[in-house]
Amino acid sequence: MISPYFTESPAGAETSETDTKRKINAGGIRRLRSRVLKSEDAAVSVKAETHERSITDAQTSAEPLSNSINTTTSVKANDDEAPLRSPKKQRRAHVKVEYEEEGVELKRERWEPCNWRTQLSFIREMRSKRDAPVDQMGAEKCFDVEAPPEVRRYQVLISLMLSSQTKDPVTAGAMQRLRERDLTTDSILNMDDDTLGKLIYPVGFWRTKVKYIKKATDLIQREFGGDIPNTVEGLMRLPGVGPKMAHLAMDIAWNNVSGIGVDTHVHRISNRLGWTKKETKMPEATRKALEEWLPRDLWSEINWLLVGFGQQVCLPVGPLCSMCMNQYTCPSAHRSYPKKIKTGSPKSPKIITSPTPRVKEELSDVHAYGSSSQRRTKTTQQDETIEKEASLSPQRDTEERGE
Ligand code: SF4
């Protein structure tokens, strides 16, 4: 190839000496040119590297401490191996990941069951008399209000341990007998197992509970200075104390809401109302499912509300759907045959044969806002089912009463 920097001489006009000199000059100029080009490339590379580093430094100073340490370390490590290519590749990959993560966040919507606010307000209304067994004999009613704080907290824990698999009146009776014998850590540790068993009988699994109470009290005395632990983890170290008891103890004894106390009532009703995204098999799964969407300021109230509601209306077997204000929105309404109710007694609850004005008003809201973001989890088909259920209810009520 002929270089553009040279012009050809006329053929045969030059001597061999001149040819030799020309060849020498051409070789020198070629070498010089290649050196100039190399130095230009190097200058461009140095400029690019300087520019890259200034961008990297600016990004590093804007990132949190932990990120900046990682970035600096990785860039330094790569500098040693491949100073020009590695930082560029690393930075591009990082930006891409951030973008994808942001995209995922934007797509993710917070799930919540449709109609839950209406259903909760109806449950509050049905519980307004506060006349369920839990209202009179729950764990927050069984301790000695005049006892020192650490003794009150210990009594709350003992009543929660006794209440497992036991009806509230039975728990309250056992607590009364224990308190007559001065229910403190010292008195329990000094009491023999037989006496303790007789005092708590007939609570469910009373023999096992005697062992658990003794072991837990011993641990409280030895490791926690005679007061119950003030963390969920600490409470769950005590024998016989699970997540439900730990969260309830944190709430009642320490006035610290750490989680939802999910017992059999809360578990059952949450599933019946469709308050869990998927059906849950165990109370612990229900707790996690509820805590994902239920506002934290309702965590304490929900246990008290649903336990009483489960004791009076949404019974384990034969829920009284005909009396429930949620029968028009509950997906489980009238699924199981309710128990026979004696009508006409002044004490018997009023059967709702058709939607009350308030229920009608709420239902019209439900239908009007059925497609809003808060209610989008239920399909139109489900709304139609609710309407159908509502129209069928009076007929069902008549059949249930045998009229
Ligand atoms: S309608 Fe029936 S199943 Fe549903 S919450 Fe009321 S009582 Fe329970």
Concatenated DSSP letters of 276-340: SSS--SSHHHHHHHHHHHS-GGGHHHHHHHHHHHHHHTS-SSS--GGG-TTTTT-TTTTSSPPPP
Query: Do 302 and 223 share a structural domain?
Result: no
Query: Do 359 and 388 share a structural domain?
Result: yes
Domain-ending residue, one of 279, 306, 321:
321
Identify how many contiguous H helices and E strands the chain contains and give both numbers: 17, 0
Question: In CATH, what number is assigned to the domain containing residue 297?
Answer: 1.10.1670
Cβ-Cβ contacts under 8 Å for 229 (sequence gap 6 or more): 220, 235, 237, 238
Measured in Å, residue 333 CA sits from the centre of ligand 1 at: 5
Least confident of 6-20, 206-220, 234-248, 302-316: 6-20
Burial of 175 (0-12, 13-18, 19+ CB in 10 A): buried
Give the atom of ligand 1 at the shortest distance from the alpha carbon of 331: 4
267 part of a folded domain: yes
71 part of a folded domain: no
Rounded Cα distance, 224 and 306, in Å: 33
Domain-ending residue, one of 241, 258, 275:
258
Give the atom of ligand 1 at the shortest distance from the alpha carbon of 320: 7
Query: Do 230 and 186 share a structural domain?
Result: yes
Rounded Cα distance, 195 and 188, in Å: 10
Rounded Cα distance, 271 and 295, in Å: 18
pLDDT band at 369 (very low <50, low <70, confident <90, very high): very low
Rounded Cα distance, 227 and 197, in Å: 23
Sign of torsion, CA 270 276 282 288? negative
Long-range contacts of 374-377 (CB under 8 A, 24+ apart): 374/112, 374/114, 375/114, 375/115, 376/114, 377/111, 377/112, 377/113, 377/114
Structure tokens at 303: 């246990």
Which one is predicted more confidently, 293 or 78? 293
Number of Cα atoms under 13 Å in the Cβ half of residue 246? 20
214 part of a folded domain: yes
Query: Do 288 and 190 share a structural domain?
Result: no
Assess whether the C-beta atom of 336 lies below 6 angstroms from ligand 1: no
Domain-ending residue, one of 208, 231, 258:
258
Q: Does residue 257 contact residue 251 with C-beta atoms inside 8 Å?
A: yes
- Average pLDDT over every residue of 32-50: 52
172 part of a folded domain: yes
Rounded Cα distance, 121 and 363, in Å: 13
Rounded Cα distance, 285 and 321, in Å: 25
Output the CA–CA distances (angstroms, integers) from residue 331 to 30, 334, 336, 386, in the order listed. Answer: 88, 9, 12, 8
pLDDT band at 140 (very low <50, low <70, confident <90, very high): confident
Least confident of 55-59, 352-356, 373-377: 373-377
The closest residue, in CA terms, to atom 2 on ligand 1 is 321
Assess whether the C-beta atom of 338 lies below 6 angstroms from ligand 1: no
Assess whether the C-beta atom of 325 lies below 6 angstroms from ligand 1: no
180 part of a folded domain: yes
Query: Do 268 and 252 share a structural domain?
Result: no
The pLDDT score that the predictor gives to residue 185 is: 97
Query: Do 245 and 274 share a structural domain?
Result: no
Residue 149 confidence (pLDDT) above 60: yes
Residue 395 confidence (pLDDT) above 50: no
Instruction: Please state the pTM of the whole predicted model.
Output: 0.61
The pLDDT score that the predictor gives to residue 48 is: 47
Rounded Cα distance, 240 and 164, in Å: 10
Rounded Cα distance, 137 and 140, in Å: 8
The pLDDT score that the predictor gives to residue 23 is: 56
Query: Do 224 and 164 share a structural domain?
Result: yes
Residue 402 confidence (pLDDT) above 50: no
366 part of a folded domain: yes
The pLDDT score that the predictor gives to residue 110 is: 85
Residue 339 confidence (pLDDT) above 60: no
Assess whether the C-beta atom of 332 lies below 6 angstroms from ligand 1: yes
Query: Do 189 and 215 share a structural domain?
Result: yes
Structure tokens at 296: 């934290």
270 part of a folded domain: yes
Rounded Cα distance, 44 and 55, in Å: 17
The mean of the pLDDT values for the chain is 74
Rounded Cα distance, 356 and 323, in Å: 12
Assess whether the C-beta atom of 290 lies below 6 angstroms from ligand 1: no
Structure tokens at 11: 């053929």
In this structure, what DSSP letter does residue 138 have? S
Rounded Cα distance, 168 and 309, in Å: 14
Rounded Cα distance, 193 and 188, in Å: 9
Reported as a single tens digit per residue, the pLDDT across 192-244 is 999 999 999 999 999 999 999 999 999 999 999 999 999 999 999 999 999 99
Query: Do 361 and 290 share a structural domain?
Result: no
Ligand 1 binding pocket mutation candidate from 127, 271, 330 (most atoms within 8 A of CB): 330
Measured in Å, residue 321 CA sits from the centre of ligand 1 at: 5
Query: Do 253 and 147 share a structural domain?
Result: yes
Output the CA–CA distances (angstroms, integers) from residue 212 to 161, 176, 203, 236, in the order listed. Answer: 9, 19, 13, 12
Residue 267 confidence (pLDDT) above 50: yes
User: What is 55-95 written as a DSSP string?
Assistant: HHHHHHHHS-HHHHHHHHHHHHHHHHH-TTHHHHHHHHHHH
62 part of a folded domain: no
Ligand 1 binding pocket mutation candidate from 120, 264, 273, 302 (most atoms within 8 A of CB): 273
Q: Which of 182, 197, 304 is nearest to 252 (CA)?
A: 304
At 106, the amino acid letter reads L
Q: Which of 322, 361, 289 is nearest to 118 (CA)?
A: 361
Active site residues: 244
Domain assignment of residue 192, given as a range: 142-258
Query: Do 315 and 298 share a structural domain?
Result: yes
Reported as a single tens digit per residue, the pLDDT across 51-100 is 455 444 444 444 433 343 343 333 333 444 444 444 444 444 444 444 44
Residue 125 confidence (pLDDT) above 50: yes
Query: Do 264 and 126 share a structural domain?
Result: yes
Assess whether the C-beta atom of 286 lies below 6 angstroms from ligand 1: no
> What's the total number of domains in the chain?
3
